[in-house]
Amino acid sequence: MDYPQRALTVLPVHNEIKHVAEVLDKAVRYSQEVLVVDDGSSDGTSELLAARRDIRVIRHPENRGYGAALKTAFDEAIRSGYDFLVTIDCDGQHEPALIPEFLRAVRFADVVSGSRYLKRFAGDSRPPEERRRINQQITEEINRRLGLHLTDAFCGFKAYQVPALAKIDLHDPGYAMPLEFWVRAADLGLKIVELPVPLVYLEEERSFGGSLDNADQRLAVYRRVLDRAIEDHRKRRAGPRATCECPVSS
């Protein structure tokens, strides 16, 4: 007997009172089910979410970080037996109308990752120079060291086959968690495809938090996380249970 496949759309949120209502109004139009992971918001976002009846909410009592919010989303999708998971950011950068396109594509891949640099769209923003530079540098390093062919390592608009997510162990709680994810995905040989998405920046001065607002320090953190994830991979590969030939190189 064939059972209908279930898809969940998740939005990690921290202090998004300006954008969350509009983004959610669109997301529920294109999603079977919508979950918001409220990562310790303190600007009224939590109260707005609590008043809605068309979404579910998991709230972190304290701000734990973007990566931690995504990890909560992954764990929920796995625990509840969903087949597919879509993640979009809640700051107005991503167009929820593209959710069905991501869900169609992920039926033929393990991971579908949005790329803001595969194609130009009418009305695209000009990215802040330091963000574009860091994205380009880290994307090139990931491709060289992992044997991947990404054009945008940091886009938060993604779709996943949930059984593939269940194989991935992630730990970094911050904005560098996607780098850890790419190492694990390469380790497992997951099939990754990119889909073009519009390039939208509504708040160019958005804070990453603390020292990460300094571009050089943010780049250094990203490289440390990437180095650590690759070293962890090598240790697992060298251990007695490591049997997978993986495309990770130095």
In a domain? residue 2: no
d(CA 185, CA 246): 10
In a domain? residue 246: no
In a domain? residue 58: yes
d(CA 55, CA 41): 17
Token pair in block for residue 142: 């990931």
Contacts with 135 (C-beta within 8 Å, 6 or more apart), sequence order:
127, 152, 153, 154
d(CA 21, CA 224): 36
- Number of structural domains found in the chain: 1
CATH of the domain at 139: 3.90.550.10
Q: In 54-176, which residue ranges form alpha helices assigned H by DSSP? A: 66-79, 99-106, 129-146, 162-165
39-48, 121-130, 169-178, 224-233: least confidently modelled range: 121-130
In a domain? residue 250: no
Domain range holding 47? 7-238
In a domain? residue 244: no
d(CA 103, CA 92): 20
Average pLDDT, the chain: 87
d(CA 172, CA 210): 16
d(CA 12, CA 14): 7
In a domain? residue 249: no
Give per-residue pLDDT as tens, 79-127.
999 999 999 998 878 899 999 999 999 999 999 999 998 888 777 677 7
What's this model's pTM, rounded to 2 decimal places?
Answer: 0.86
In a domain? residue 97: yes
Q: Where are the beta strands (DSSP E) in the chain?
A: 7-13, 33-39, 56-60, 84-87, 111-115, 158-161, 192-196
In a domain? residue 120: yes
